Structure 1
Amino acid sequence: MREERTSWWLLPKRACATALIVTGHLIAALPHTMTRGGRAGLAHRAPRLLTALGPFFVKAGQLLSTRRDLVPERWCDALGELADEVRQPRRAAVARTLAEAGFSDAFAEFDWEPVACGSIASVHRARLADGTEVAVKVQRHGIRPVLEADLRLALLGARAGRLLPSMRDLPAEEMIGQLGGAVLRQLDFTAEHDSLLALRGNLSDHTELRIPAPVEGLCGPTVLTMEFVPDIGRFRPHGMSMARRQEVVRDVLRAVYRMLFVDGVVHCDLHPGNLCLDGEGRVVVLDAGFVVQLPDAVRRSFAGFFLNMAQGNGPKCADIVLDSAARLPADMDREGFRNAVTELVDEVAGALSKDFDLGAFAPRLFKLQKDFGVFAAAEFAFPLLSLLVLEGMIKEFDSEVDFQAEAVPVLMASFAKDVQVDSERRENGPSGGWAA
């Protein structure tokens, strides 16, 4: 009951705090709105505002920075600079979360100074009674009701925003709903435990890829205990031979392509903090909090889009985007959209595969979607996000890497698997598929 009373009062409390913070930033920004240059610079103030508002808005801003199909590029660039600049939790708060999870006496040693700290959780080094070192991810105490209250406020703000002419055509409520769902899913450490097991099972044949195993019996909704990986360093090629760089790149790409095209279990947060190297130079994938299970139809559609793009089939790519969209305008110019996407894909097909730049292609595709009012489903956008985040890091290892050539064998394996599955299910009627 205490938690319910706290939550009841939390919404108006957060509403007042949010209103004060937003008002203060608007007043500070008012002089800058008088000139065109000042208005253009407002995007750079957004990270400070969202950081002041709290962890939900920081997480939502980070995800929103990837939606270049809906948000102007300068705003995406500014939001992309957001970071979880948070204080480490108090020892008493960490201890309380451990106690409520039933793990107060689970560890022979526990380092209260976190080795990593984010807006949702902190990670601590600990030791079991048998001497095994583990990493313990502990959710910030009381963070769930705060994030849920902020999501409600963001939805109310999106509804109010429809009164503004410039906001009427923007699917703000759908966007906030998608972003909020992605943020709240990161609070479910039981789901993260299952995602770690799924990723480890699916990628077990990638011997150069290391995913920490959860420690059974010491995991719950707010505490996740995993094997401790020592000597973790940033995902950088310094000191590696070119041959080793190429091995790392190809193993990472094949693993990500398998996630996207075969298994449909996608790690959507492979930024430099979550993709690392251990002391032996093996790739380590951390933090499975933002792992998305793609519906089979979406997985097939995304694989179909990528394969048809590699083959230069622009009309099919356009059809896949339209069929997978969450919303289309009633008066949409479908033929115009198909022609524009075909022209874009033709340009890609005419370039050498190693020169393909997803970071340049995706914003142009997103702009076409925005111009024609195509609101892409989050399930289709998130896989593209994982590739976009990864591309820059990969090219630092090997600027000559052939993204499309590495993808085609995995795509063909996915296609063969789907043909077999469809054949086995043919008596139950047709299932969603894609044409090569």
Structure 2
Amino acid sequence: MVNGFMGRVLRAVGMAVRAVHVGGIMAGYALLFGAAEARRLLGPRRAGHGARAGGLHDGDRWVKMLTRLGPSYIKIGQLVSTRRDLLPPAVTGPLSRLTDAAPPPSRRRVRQAVLAAYAGTRWPFREFTWEPVACGSIATVHEAVTLDGRRVAVKVRRPGIQWVMERDFALTLAMMRALGAVPKLRKMPFKVMHEQVGSAILRQLDFPAEAAALAELRTNLAGLGNVRIPEPLADLCTPEVVVMEYIIGLRRFAPGDLDAGTRRQVVQAVLAAVYEMLFIDGVVHCDLHPGNLYFDERAGLVMLDAGFVIRLPDEVRRSFADFFIHMAMGDGWTCAQIVIESAAHVADDCDVAGFRAGLTELVQEASGAKSGQFALAPFAGRLFDLQRRFGLFPAPEFAFPLLSLLVIEGMIKDFDSAVDFQAEAVPVLRRRNMLRDRTAQLHK
């Protein structure tokens, strides 16, 4: 009982220390951003010209703040960096450095972590490069050669990261509860949303699950032919380390010198893979930012880092696919019915008719948009606003498919601004319907 009491005291002290740390950093940078924004606005008047751009558009300062806050916040920066269609390059450019170039832990700490991971077993590497080839918010990645001569990539969990992220999770839960106490926000299921989304982020610390997800994605996407996912070496993986094949010749996922035809093929390949995950398999890579998506030497797609992979329940996968089909058809009434039936919470004073009318109008606008004019981010924003206004809140799992699309939308439009997200989904949706019908016949 004493140990339990002391454990609670220590957790409370740790929470307080982390809260003071996070709060202090945020308060300090709020002052810096405010002062810089004031100088930016007053600069042209006072200096006439040459005033330094900054304020809230100072991406380098955002990078510094998120880096100091830690891995949970770096992950937010990574996702935001992909939305170049919504935010200025002065912000997204610097934030993109967070995808695989976060400040690494010391070589000594990495070495200690790797040696501890294989303590009591034979050291499995002939060579090991302690300088990381990539450094993200959760882990560093190192090149190595196994005793039998295989060239591998070794992903090492950052020392101490679990302690930090668990406390960030608890802090954000406390903030969600506080928001839920605000009279105008009491209808919002903040706690449920936080548990679903926060738990998904914490699952990125589960390296055995990531190794299993790599293997599952390889199997599911093998039929596409042009998508590569590194093979995990299960016998060398540990709870702190994932060892996988090393894919050589990786190139950044950027338009570069590609001609228009090749860019279109790239877009079609990426969307085919994402729709395969969303509508067919239900195992979805939700973190396809530029640090996790590459070309190989044959210009095939390479997906890395299966830490943020969500397994959609069959019911959610079917609902999302049906929503997408009827959205493409302009059938807003059915889309509204799908959202209503899959809702996690419906307020007592929910205006179902008002919600259905609003979503019908939104879907008709989206289906009437010309190729390249449909934008998912504003559509999703208006959808969530309709749900909030009319008192109907979606199951948090329903947000994960949207997240996977939102993460890649900005990058995809860099390649092909005229891409039609709805049209590219049609072949996969048709195949999904054929598989569903075939399954139904077998069960008759």
TM bracket, shorter-chain basis: 0.7 to 0.9
> What's the secondary structure of 2:195's corresponding residue?
helix
Q: Structure 2: where are the runs of 5+ without partners?
A: 40-54
- AA partner of residue 13 (structure 1): G
- AA partner of residue 246 (structure 1): R
How many pairs were matched up?
A: 413
Find the partner of 2:339 among 321, 324, 327: 321
Alpha-carbon distance between aligned partners in 2 of 1:49 and 1:141, rounded to the nearest angstrom: 21
Change (3 A) 1:100 1:23: closer
> What's the secondary structure of 1:205's corresponding residue?
helix
Find the partner of 1:91 among 107, 112, 115: 107
> What's the secondary structure of 2:322's corresponding residue?
helix
Partner in structure 1 of residue 150 of structure 2 = 132
Q: Give the CA deviation at 1:222.
A: 1.4
Partner in structure 1 of residue 325 of structure 2 = 307
Alpha-carbon distance between aligned partners in 2 of 1:266 and 1:96, rounded to the nearest angstrom: 33
Does residue 1:252 correspond to 2:253, yes or no? Answer: no
Moved more, 366-375 or 17-26: 17-26
Does the aligned pair in 2 maintain the 1:29–1:42 contact within 8 Å? no
Alpha-carbon distance between aligned partners in 2 of 1:319 and 1:292, rounded to the nearest angstrom: 24
Alpha-carbon distance between aligned partners in 2 of 1:220 and 1:178, rounded to the nearest angstrom: 26
Does the aligned pair in 2 maintain the 1:63–1:179 contact within 8 Å? no
Partner in structure 2 of residue 235 of structure 1 = 253
Alpha-carbon distance between aligned partners in 1 of 2:194 and 2:395, rounded to the nearest angstrom: 13
1:364-384 CA deviation, whole Å, 9 max, x = no partner? 222222222332222111111
TM-score, normalization by structure 1? 0.83
Alpha-carbon distance between aligned partners in 1 of 2:396 and 2:26, rounded to the nearest angstrom: 30
Alpha-carbon distance between aligned partners in 1 of 2:194 and 2:80, rounded to the nearest angstrom: 9
Equivalent residues in 2 for 1:330-349, closer than 5 Å = 330-349=348-367
Does the aligned pair in 2 maintain the 1:231–1:278 contact within 8 Å? yes
- AA partner of residue 94 (structure 1): V
- AA partner of residue 358 (structure 2): A
Find the partner of 2:117 among 86, 94, 101: 101
Does residue 1:15 correspond to 2:31, yes or no? Answer: no
Partner in structure 1 of residue 162 of structure 2 = 144
1:173-202 CA deviation, whole Å, 9 max, x = no partner? 223222320111101111111111111111
Does the aligned pair in 1 maintain the 2:29–2:65 contact within 8 Å? no
Alpha-carbon distance between aligned partners in 2 of 1:317 and 1:100, rounded to the nearest angstrom: 52
Q: Give the CA deviation at 1:65.
A: 10
> What's the secondary structure of 1:332's corresponding residue?
coil
Alpha-carbon distance between aligned partners in 1 of 2:28 and 2:407, rounded to the nearest angstrom: 35
- AA partner of residue 98 (structure 1): V
Change (3 A) 1:93 1:310: same
Alpha-carbon distance between aligned partners in 1 of 2:25 and 2:418, rounded to the nearest angstrom: 48
Alpha-carbon distance between aligned partners in 2 of 1:7 and 1:217, rounded to the nearest angstrom: 37
Partner in structure 2 of residue 69 of structure 1 = none
Change (3 A) 1:158 1:347: closer
1:322-377 CA deviation, whole Å, 9 max, x = no partner? 22222221111000000000011111222334433223322222222222233222
- AA partner of residue 412 (structure 2): I
Change (3 A) 1:311 1:91: same
Does the aligned pair in 2 maintain the 1:43–1:78 contact within 8 Å? yes
Two-structure CA RMSD over aligned residues (Å): 3.5
Alpha-carbon distance between aligned partners in 1 of 2:32 and 2:126, rounded to the nearest angstrom: 58
Q: Structure 1: where are the runs of 5+ without partners?
A: 67-72, 427-436
Change (3 A) 1:312 1:217: same
Alpha-carbon distance between aligned partners in 2 of 1:242 and 1:64, rounded to the nearest angstrom: 26
Q: Give the CA deviation at 1:165.
A: 4.3
Partner in structure 1 of residue 48 of structure 2 = none
Change (3 A) 1:159 1:356: closer
TM-score, normalization by structure 2? 0.82
Alpha-carbon distance between aligned partners in 2 of 1:59 and 1:327, rounded to the nearest angstrom: 28
Q: Give the CA deviation at 1:413.
A: 1.2
- AA partner of residue 16 (structure 2): A
Alpha-carbon distance between aligned partners in 2 of 1:375 and 1:320, rounded to the nearest angstrom: 12
> What's the secondary structure of 1:271's corresponding residue?
coil
Alpha-carbon distance between aligned partners in 2 of 1:245 and 1:79, rounded to the nearest angstrom: 22
> What's the secondary structure of 2:156's corresponding residue?
strand
- AA partner of residue 194 (structure 1): A
> What's the secondary structure of 2:236's corresponding residue?
coil
> What's the secondary structure of 2:356's corresponding residue?
helix
Does the aligned pair in 2 maintain the 1:159–1:173 contact within 8 Å? yes
- AA partner of residue 206 (structure 1): L
Partner in structure 1 of residue 297 of structure 2 = 279
Alpha-carbon distance between aligned partners in 1 of 2:238 and 2:67, rounded to the nearest angstrom: 29
Q: Give the CA deviation at 1:14.
A: 3.7
Does the aligned pair in 2 maintain the 1:106–1:128 contact within 8 Å? yes
Q: Give the CA deviation at 1:10.
A: 4.9
Alpha-carbon distance between aligned partners in 2 of 1:299 and 1:416, rounded to the nearest angstrom: 16
Does the aligned pair in 2 maintain the 1:21–1:49 contact within 8 Å? no
- AA partner of residue 22 (structure 1): G
Alpha-carbon distance between aligned partners in 2 of 1:343 and 1:42, rounded to the nearest angstrom: 34
1:218-266 CA deviation, whole Å, 9 max, x = no partner? 1122110111112222111222232322222212211111111011111
Change (3 A) 1:374 1:48: farther
Alpha-carbon distance between aligned partners in 2 of 1:100 and 1:79, rounded to the nearest angstrom: 37
Equivalent residues in 2 for 1:347-358, closer than 5 Å = 347-358=365-376
Does the aligned pair in 1 maintain the 2:206–2:239 contact within 8 Å? yes
Alpha-carbon distance between aligned partners in 2 of 1:23 and 1:280, rounded to the nearest angstrom: 48
Find the partner of 1:360 among 374, 378, 395: 378
Change (3 A) 1:63 1:161: farther
Does residue 1:112 correspond to 2:130, yes or no? Answer: yes
Change (3 A) 1:8 1:418: farther
